[in-house]
A and B are shown apart, each in its own frame.
Chain A
Amino acid sequence: MTKVSVLFFGATADEVGDREVDLELPENSRAEDALARIVERFPRLAAHKLLFAVNQEYASGAEIIGDGDELAVFTAVSGG
């Protein structure tokens, strides 16, 4: 299994009730599979259009997730 941490911010942190959770994924999971698993675990996230980052870079979905990677799930940004 691949162990990762998943970070949440703003609206996604409110929906999950936490800012960081640990997650175990099957070896060689793709980013899109990881996101699907996270939404499955926290179904309230499905109410939002989600963006996904792996190791602080926006993910296309095809990235292979490795042990210790930092994932982040958040809504469309609204700074400024």
Chain B
Amino acid sequence: MTEEIRDDFYEITAAPLDVGAIARRVVPASCGAIVTLDGFVRQFTRGRETEYLVYEAYEPMALKEMEKLGAAARERFAIECVTIVHRTGRLEIGETSVVIAVAAPHRRAAFEACEWLIKELKSTVPIWKKEVYADGETWIEGAN
């Protein structure tokens, strides 16, 4: 089996995310759709108001896990290219925390892969979120 050169891209950064630029970083000639998730900081969670979030990552392991997810997504779905970028540090309400962009020849596979990738990311990639409220703060512990 020949090793194809892929344009997949995985990054963890403290810098603000430019969703449009990340989504269109690669526009493969064989593709006709890019589905992008723009995950951003929610102000109200289960009725409680968040002032801001702090994200922390185990960076080298998180990047490895993202790469595994991208490879697994390409096995499961008819897609060409995966981009995942997650931000760390303090994020204000409405700021983008994660971008997942999936390019595919046809849209359906890209939608399905994008949904699958965010679900998997939330259970396997070692990144944690602290919710800071007016009267306290909590590190959120995932379901898994």
Give the B-binding residues of A (Cβ under 8 A): 7, 9-11, 14, 48-49, 51, 53, 56-57, 72, 74-80
Flag if B39 contacts A80 (CB, 8 Å): yes
Cα A72 to Cα B122 with chains together (Å):
18
Please tell me the number of chain B residues within 8 Å of chain A, measured between CB atoms: 29
Residue of chain B at shortest CB distance from A14? B139
Residue of chain A at shortest CB distance from B59? A56
State whether the Cβ of B28 lies closer than 8 Å to any Cβ in chain A: no
Give the A-binding residues of B (Cβ under 8 A): 39, 55-58, 60-62, 64, 86, 97-98, 118, 121-130, 139-144
B98 to chain A, nearest CB (A): 5
Cα A57 to Cα B64 with chains together (Å):
9
Point out the residues of chain B lying under 8 angstroms from A56, CB to CB: 58, 60-61, 64
A73 to chain B, nearest CB (A): 10
Flag if B97 contacts A80 (CB, 8 Å): yes
B98, B126, B130: the one within 8 Å of A80 (CB): B98
Residue of chain B at shortest CB distance from A76? B142
Flag if B125 contacts A79 (CB, 8 Å): yes
Flag if A49 contacts B141 (CB, 8 Å): yes
B61 to chain A, nearest CB (A): 4
Cα A79 to Cα B37 with chains together (Å):
14
11 contacts between A and B (CB under 8 A): A11-B128, A77-B122, A77-B126, A77-B128, A78-B122, A79-B121, A79-B122, A79-B125, A79-B126, A79-B129, A80-B122
Point out the residues of chain B lying under 8 angstroms from A78, CB to CB: 122, 127-129, 139-142
Point out the residues of chain B lying under 8 angstroms from A9, CB to CB: 56-58, 126, 128
Give the residue among A7, A51, A76 with the most B Cβ atoms within 10 A.
Answer: A76
B106 to chain A, nearest CB (A): 26
Point out the residues of chain A lying under 8 angstroms from B127, CB to CB: 77-80
